[in-house]
Structure 1
């Protein structure tokens, strides 16, 4: 299969005859000129570039290294853009993502979790000899044993009650760290944690202060080298990460140790019009992120008053952290108008139910929908058109999930 071809395998593109991506783009197609069918997920170039600059600037201003979470998009061109904007590394969630990122040219990867497959860990050790740096997390004796004897850097993970991973107490973390340090090959590189599941700012602040306390405790135990990594941060609380862990913002680090705080936010790049719009730290601090993704779906039927059925569903758009939001309507005759009064009520595999109390939608109309939770939107599309402000398609994002 030729990944450069746009053809019958490329959802959203209407290409009965194969065409090379470069040839397709050379024709400067427009979204509504016949080159696409519905539904199709599109990205706005201006919003992506704005968001890229915004968080790169935030990290630089607060002394944070940035390793954006690649699980959000797994798109080579966006990874390249993040590297060009100064990213220190990139974050992965799974071994398969690490392999993909290695093949896509990543030089440094933070794995936000344990790796327990010995075959994977042996491969990482071999790749480390070729200059590939991977830091993965452990929170158990089993995690340490899985990597035992391999020359790999390890982060011990601090968690919290009810969280998805991590040592629940400082004592447990110190014991795991001691087991890492006792292994003749493993290297204790620092600590890690994830605060995104905590309910409020007070809980997040307490957890981040716990990460700082963990660094001090491991330094007192003489388990840390001179260079220390502290990796944390999703897309909902990076302002508090900056306030508590950026530089010496939350207090001094242990003397004799140079600490690099690594932020791992991922959803910022495309942002959204639901889950992260409500939770972004830029609701609390200066700055702004812009929603970059729109799903265009066609009205298939208006079978009863107040109800319209769109031809898009769970296979096309995220629905796990909020339903899509109708933003604009384009009639079959062309021209757009705001989607005021419209609301998505539920989705099936390939159908979307829209409340239309004023009866403004007709079969054949197109509805542009904002999405909620980009991490489960990108993975449904292997090719995503990128639009300039005038609607011209200027690029195609390829994703590798």
Structure 2
């Protein structure tokens, strides 16, 4: 594995024709970029959508009707994430780039940021404040994160860390969530390899649940151990569900996995988010993540759809210390030609029924990751 701890990508700030922020993250060693102006004539940015408070559950719901007109599975010559060409002006003005992050043109949240009230009376709404960003992993239209070079994957990790630190500092932001939806089966609207980052003005239902359980364990151990740290120690001792162990990160199939394929990638050290990782940890994370994705794609003859959810600690200091950064990688693929759909029990009640055993999935993933690595995928 090439070590990049002493090298950092260059970061160049620019803006798009409607005022949205765009940042170029260029691989180490790339000359400093001079941004190309965005020559498009774009309409003014839409007003934020709505946030409505569900008094029955205590959850916030974003209403973003303006997203109905967003781009949906365009052909390659009209892809908004490919570099601008003589025949098509995309969201990225430069004719070539490494990694780009920009504010979503059709955001669910934002672009305004502000503090939210703790709740709202029934029948009232508030502007959908927050921030939604797009992360394009490469200028190449085809491929996936798993097909990136190590150097490029390391640049994306650095971009995630950079954006996490800046978004954490925005007024009213409670949690920052980088994620990737891969595959038409998941519901992607662009084929180009990319992910997104949501900066929420509230703690999401899943985030709140994880934080509350972690906090109880942390207090029960007098602040000596995080819950995810305890689980990781037990998984490494057992070994039944372990898929990969590194110096700084380990991956395992969780004992109570909800999805046919589910992996947790956890740092050995207590760390809250991407921004808190050391250079050596980022180096290994890029390598390990590539190995996991290549193993996942080795399970079947065709690429496996997945959701890569990077769980970062809430910004609230009372919850942050007990919560550990980790990846939850899930796929609804339960067989080569079968998908798991969330129906009555899962969708309505949140009570999951899994068609696979964690130990069996771990066995298959161990073999697939080992085969992908020995096959010289890096």
TM-score computed with the length of structure 1 as normaliser: 0.21
Higher Cα Rg: structure 1 or 2? Answer: 1
When the two structures are superposed, what TM-score results if normalisation uses the length of structure 2?
0.22
Structure showing greater relative contact order (alpha-carbon pairs closer than 8 Å, 6 or more residues apart) = 1
